[in-house]
Amino acid sequence: MTGGARRIATEKILRQAAYWSVLAGACGHTYGNNNIWQMWAPGRDSVIWADTPWHEAINHPGAFQMGHLRRLFESRGFHKLVPDYAIVADGPRTGAGKVRAAVASDGSVAIVYIPRGDSVTLDKTRIRAARVRELWFDPRYGRMYHLLTHDNQGFQTYTPPSCGRGRDWVLVLEDEKAGFAML
């Protein structure tokens, strides 16, 4: 986000809250932008530090990134996802870097959110498939990258393409036969 010194949340913080919520079992997530909900424009009184005209704020990164989240989860059968922290055999479990994960009730897909690009070790047996397609999803830009497809077996450690604050990634593990579309 751009703007004044009183800005409370960045697009990274908003994105992390959204992924944590949805992967913890929330039925969805609502994105709010202070400048938009009050339709702030120069010459109007500001409530809670609005500082960007609403017609500019509508293009803030956080708004687009919520659309990326929606596309990803709708494309992978969001309604079947169940929070599943047992899939994470090793990786951050507390604090701002904690990894969140959910697996479809039919075992066809797992979605793992990695807030700071830390390496994680996953128990791939949670996916009920002979062959697993592995994909990185960049929640900042809504792009998906095919990592590889191979036989499903045991534990595997994944290291995201980049790491550090604001370098969050989503790992998608899915049954090769499920036919999910690349985004």
Domains of the chain, CATH where assigned: 11-71 (no CATH), 80-178 (2.60.40)
In angstroms, the CA 12 to CA 166 distance is 6
pLDDT digits (tens, 9 = 90+) for 32-52: 788 888 888 999 988 888 889
Token pair belonging to 33: 């932008």
pLDDT digits (tens, 9 = 90+) for 118-175: 999 999 999 999 999 999 999 999 999 999 999 998 999 999 998 777 789 999 999 9
